[in-house]
Amino acid sequence: MSEAPLFSEQHPAPAARRRLSAKATWTFFIAAALVVVAVAVVLVWSQIRDAETTHVIDDEAGLSYSIPQDWVQLSEAEMTVDSGYAMYSSIAEAPGNAWVRFRVAGADSHEDALSFTKALVADFTGGDLDSPSIVEEDSVIDGHAATTFSDSDDEGLVWMSMLIEFDDRWVEVWGAADSDDPHFVEQLESIFESIRIS
């Protein structure tokens, strides 16, 4: 009668079990350390990014957004009828290079509001409504439908417009940047990406 071996591949000797256990422990600690490092990098990056931007709350539009430190938010005193800015709820600009403006619009139908905005983009850029250069992108901002149009004109300006739908109104966001300086175009895009419902 042959005896079964005391240890097999399924039941390794205690020393082998300890080696497997030590290897699993090291793997766990390395994975945990990588997660901690990744979280720390994200936190540091977000603090650096936040330190380089100013958070703006537009109560009239019901929106908030972030502008780079080298941009200036216009005061209410500067947004007068005489300046031509009275129709806007907030304005920020990088003097001479780029700007963004927010305006609360009426409760037109969805199709009318979109058609009007797209027509203005075409008008500003010298194109037509069917121009393939006008990029149209639908999105959702905190549960609100939004449509962004973008294009560039012959004078070197990149134009962006966003239409955000609320129950009783629309908010139009207009922006332009000098396409000769990609830095300002990137900043304008980052402002549009930062828009949130406040």
CATH number of the domain bearing residue 99:
3.40.1000.10
Mean pLDDT over 59-71 rounds to 95
- For residue 9, name the pLDDT band (cuts at 50, 70, 90): low
Q: Greater confidence, 162 or 36? A: 162
- Amino acid 48: pLDDT: 46
Radius of gyration of the chain (CA): 28
Whether residues 35 and 125 fall in one domain? no
- Amino acid 180: pLDDT: 82
Q: Greater confidence, 44 or 74? A: 74
Residue 2 is assigned to a structural domain of this protein: no
Whether residues 47 and 59 fall in one domain? no
d(CA 54, CA 67): 5
- 88 token code pair: 């806007």
pLDDT tens for each residue of 98-120: 999 999 987 666 677 777 777 77
Whether residues 118 and 169 fall in one domain? yes
- Any idea which of 35-49, 100-114, 137-151, 155-169 has the lowest mean pLDDT? 35-49
* Number of domains observed in the structure of the chain: 2
Q: Greater confidence, 35 or 184? A: 184
Query: Does the structure show a pLDDT above 90 at 187?
Result: yes
- Amino acid 20: pLDDT: 61
HSE-up (13 A, CA, CB side) for residue 108: 16
Residue 1 is assigned to a structural domain of this protein: no
How much is the mean pLDDT over the chain? 80
Query: Does the structure show a pLDDT above 70 at 6?
Result: no
In terms of residue numbers, what domain contains 189? 54-197
Whether residues 29 and 44 fall in one domain? yes
> What are the φ and ψ backbone dihedral angles of 197, each rounded to 5 degrees?
-80, 130
Mean pLDDT over 11-34 rounds to 67
CA torsion through residues 70, 75, 77, 79, sign: positive
Whether residues 150 and 184 fall in one domain? yes
Q: How far is CA 19 from CA 16, 23, 24, 27, 181, in A?
A: 5, 6, 9, 12, 59
Whether residues 116 and 183 fall in one domain? yes
Query: Does the structure show a pLDDT above 60 at 51?
Result: no
161 within 8 A of 172, measured Cβ to Cβ: yes
- Amino acid 139: pLDDT: 94
- For residue 174, name the pLDDT band (cuts at 50, 70, 90): very high
